[in-house]
Amino acid sequence: MKKTVFSLVILAVIGLVFSFASGSAEARTQFVSIGTGGTGGVYYPYGGGVAEIWSKKVDGVKAVAEVTGASVENTKLCSKGETLFGEIMSDVAYQAYTGTGKFKGKPQKILGMFVMYPNVYHVVTRADSGVNSLSDLKGKKVSVGAPGSGTEFMTNLILEGALGISYKSFKVFRLSFNENANALKDNSIDVGIWCVAPPTSSIMDLATTHKIKIIPFSKEEIAKVTSKYPFYSGYTLPAGVYKGQDKPVYTASVWNTFICNADLDEELVYKLTKAVFENQDFLIKIHHFAKYTTPENAIKYSAIPLHPGAAKYIREQGIKIPERLIAK
């Protein structure tokens, strides 16, 4: 009986030791999430790639990409510390950091880590819709982007803010990228808007079953947009990016910024930034636009100051951080 009791005590002690060791290992692991976008765009697979890099290359970090409403939602989640990291368009980043525009009086607690790639503005319609220019949107059923998305944010600034095309002049829908494609297929909408790195899967899928048309901007329209909002620029979408798109399309573009919560530890952000830049080849396999994810582009195109951890890595590459990008 004594031997049995003694054996049970030993087993209990061993169990506690293993439990403590397991708990210690778990305590050393930091679980983080990245706010991305819908599954029909590029944010989600790109964010998934970053999460995989961090989980494999940074000791003590396990990361996951979360499906979200994209830029505006990601900004708020990151600022509150609910995701810590997010992918957002630079127009959203600028207004969120400075507390202007839609974030007037409510600056968000975010900083940049790096810029990702430029997003291209796609105004997509069926070839037989009769929509040939932005002015033809009036009276039509138009999806301006999902609620809380960078697409809807940009659409509001471009159409209403720069070009004077009021939301009141057309019937507004707020759909995700996949919902845009499905709604165009069944004629529920006349026009769907995407702001995304080309090519994107949802438009490619649409173009395989329906003849599509991407509406171009005129040079005058782009001039109005960029003069009012300097974080936007013109972009020529080459012919043949999508099936049936036989001519280049002149449109608008904006860079994407990978953000983090401003209060994050410098050494952690340094390690995470280092891992992304040193495994860029992995991201390029996910989407070729990841070729733009470089330290040089972070300095050239970031719309907001960089986190000290990101700045530390970039300085180590012999790159000077301009004053405007140094976090105060």
pLDDT in tens, the chain (328 residues): 444 444 433 434 334 333 434 444 445 899 999 999 999 999 999 999 999 999 999 999 999 999 999 999 999 999 999 999 999 999 999 999 999 999 999 999 999 999 999 999 999 999 999 999 999 999 999 999 999 899 999 999 999 999 999 999 999 999 999 999 999 999 999 999 999 999 999 999 999 999 999 999 999 999 999 999 989 999 999 999 999 999 999 999 999 999 999 999 999 999 999 999 999 999 999 999 999 999 999 999 999 999 999 999 999 999 999 999 999 8
CA separation, residue 189 to residues 174, 207, 224, 269 (Å): 11, 16, 27, 43
Phi, psi of 269 (to 5 degrees): -65, -35
CATH 3.40.190.10 domain position(s) in the chain: 28-117+257-325, 119-254
- Which architecture does CATH list for 119-254? 3-Layer(aba) Sandwich (3.40)
User: Which amino acid is residue 196, in one-letter code?
Assistant: V
CA–CA separation, 157 and 103 (whole Å): 13
Place of tokens 């992918």: 87
Torsion angle of the four alpha carbons 91, 73, 190, 245, in this order, in degrees rounded to the nearest 10 = 60
In CATH, the number for domain 28-117+257-325 is 3.40.190.10
